[in-house]
Amino acid sequence: MKIPTVRGAPRPPEIPKTEEHRFPCDNCGGDMRFDPGGDRMICDHCGNIEGLGRASPAAIREIDIRAGLDRGGAETEETRVLSCPNCGAQVEFDPAIHAAECPFCATPVVTDTGTNRHIKPAALVPFGLDEATAHAAMNDWLGSLWFAPNGLQKYARKGRKMSGVYVPYWTFDAQTDSAYAGHRGDTYYVRQTVMRDGKPVSVQVPKIRWTPKRGRVRRFFDDMTILASTSLPKRHTDALEPWDLSALAPYAPQFLAGFRAEAYRVELEDGLTEARARMDAVIARDVRMDIGGDQQRITSIDTRLSNVTFKHVLLPVWVAAYKYRGQSFRFVVNGQSGRVQGERPYSKWKIALAVIAALIVAAIALFIYAAAEGGGISTGGLSLPSGGGAGWLSE
């Protein structure tokens, strides 16, 4: 589907500079942060707790795709971001920070003073796990790894700080109506005579009867999520799924207090292209089911999309990035479910020892098999090949 761009629309008004996501404590003046797992803000200096009221989920607004592609109908904001020179991540930082470490690759960087204008998030899934719980999940995962260096888990347990990052995603809704043409294949059998070992044998041979088929399939896609970040390997973020998007809350800066938010690097149009490819794969599966039979051939699918809308949402991820023996490794933990995925080093010595052990076991098994084949194992008791030395006793 080609989504036309509306031209000539007025440019959005200038957005003021980024507001700091800082919320002073009414008790001591320190910075309060969002407390994962609860609708509240907490002050780490004096322990003061303040309730955080959420807006109704009904306030989350779907945006027409044409308005988003044109940017004239989508609300935008301007944020100050850090651009990592190593992995290219663009992470929001407040103006009080002048130097930091990239949460995605552990590269020391100095923040720039640039700003980034982008479509404002419509909603987010608040962090449900605190750092200690995410760290425990990561350590359990590290402990389950085979052939990991002995010092890896010990290194990770040295109190290495994890960063809570809201990772950007696009979600897409669309109503699809697809007309298709193809063929249905039904299996039937015919009896034929074939020669086997010089003798005629009657066998059942499968054949396919193809019948032309046309029809329509319809499907509504609701909140198809597309990763809008390029900072983490997609195979890792895909492995964090599924996300419970029923927990989406209308975007509010209080949820970001104490955390970071990554700016999206996959533009809306590119996200729509990926979503369309995923929709097409699902539609093709629906068409095969509608054709039925034992096999299917699809000649054509003509899909029309309507009511295409999107949202820019933020999903919670705990990130641990560290260097081990000169190499960078990253772990990610789903801040909602605790699912862990990541990169890991391998111990060459452990792999070598495992190979040697396997060869020894194979050699012993081969020796026992050879002895048994040579008649050295008796059925009346245990015996081994005779000859030389003191010999072997057997009953």
Of 319, 322, 325, 289, the residue nearest 229 (C-alpha):
319
Q: Mind listing the pLDDT tens digit of every residue in the chain (395 residues)?
A: 544 444 444 433 333 333 446 788 888 888 888 989 888 889 988 889 988 877 777 789 899 999 888 865 678 777 666 666 666 666 665 544 444 666 666 666 655 545 667 888 999 999 999 988 988 887 777 766 555 555 565 655 665 678 888 999 999 999 999 999 999 999 999 998 888 888 888 899 999 999 999 999 999 999 999 999 888 788 888 888 889 999 999 998 889 888 888 888 899 999 999 999 999 999 999 999 999 999 999 999 999 999 999 999 999 999 887 666 666 677 889 999 999 887 655 555 556 666 777 778 887 878 787 777 665 544 444 444 444 443 333 33
pTM of the model: 0.73
| Cα–Cα dist 208/178, whole Å | 26
Question: Residue 126 — φ and ψ, nearest 5°?
Answer: -65, 155
| Cα–Cα dist 94/74, whole Å | 24
pLDDT score at 16: 33
| Cα–Cα dist 169/274, whole Å | 12
Q: Which helix (H) or strand (E) holds 295?
A: strand 295-324
The SS3 assignment for 126 reads coil
Tokens of 94: 């407040």
pLDDT score at 143: 64
pLDDT score at 171: 96
| Cα–Cα dist 179/299, whole Å | 11
Question: Residue 150 — φ and ψ, nearest 5°?
Answer: -60, -35
pLDDT score at 299: 97
The per-residue b/e assignment along 30-65, b for 16 or more CB within 10 angstroms, e otherwise, is ebbbbbbeeeebbbeeeeeeeebeeeeeeebeebeb
| Cα–Cα dist 99/235, whole Å | 30
pLDDT score at 127: 94
For residue 306, the one-letter residue type is S
pLDDT score at 384: 40
Of 84, 79, 78, the residue nearest 110 (C-alpha):
84
The size of the chain, in residues, is 395
Q: List all residues 6 or more positions away from 67 whose beta carbon is below 8 Å from its beta carbon.
A: 6, 73, 74
| Cα–Cα dist 103/89, whole Å | 9
